[in-house]
Amino acid sequence: MNTLESKTEELFVGSYHHSLDPKRRLIIPSTWRSLLGDSLRLFVFPHPDKQCLFLYTLQEMNRRLAQLRSADAVDENDHQAIRALTASADALAVDAQGRVRIKDELLAHAAVQNKVVLVGTLTRIELWSEEKFDLALPTDSPLAENTFFGSY
């Protein structure tokens, strides 16, 4: 199973290669669907600097919204940041077959034509086009090296 359990939550790990179906729907892996809770909803945001999408569960979205709600709504910079973030986002309902339909504009942001890679990054899922994902993989990572392999 491609999930890890912590004391308070299960985490998304692993990667899956999928193709969009003829109606441009994407299957969420069954091992990850159980992490969505009863809502079976995901929230999708384009990454501001990279050609990928971030997908959050309702629980994680509520945690992040609490941070946004604490921002000063009167402060113009905070308000503009919230507007930019929410204007490009979308809420996705997972259907009975475990599929979601992501807006064409969001798929275009990630340069998705047909083949996608879903990557579990602990508290979220990243969606990449297969081509962009291969280019984005680091050749080495000091964080991973120190965290997981530093004691060997």
Residues 74-133: pLDDT tens digits? 778 877 878 888 899 999 999 999 999 999 999 999 999 999 999 999 999 999 999 998
How would you label 15-30 residue by residue, b for 16+ Cβ within 10 Å and e otherwise? bbebebeeeeebbbbe
Q: What is d(CA 90, CA 141) in angstroms, rounded to the nearest whole number?
A: 31
Strand order in the sheet with 52-57: 15-19, 115-120, 125-129, 52-57, 41-46, 90-93
- State both tokens at 40: 């079976």
Does residue 37 surpass a pLDDT of 70? yes
The domain limits of the chain are: 3-148
How much of the chain, in percent, has pLDDT values that exceed 90?
A: 58
Q: Are strands 25-27 and 41-46 parallel, antiparallel or unpaired?
A: unpaired
Cβ atoms 51, 108 nearer than 8 A = no
Report the amino acid identity of residue 62.
N
Output the CATH code of domain 3-148: 3.40.1550.20
Return the SS3 of 148.
Answer: helix
| Residue 73 φ/ψ, nearest 5 degrees | -65, -20
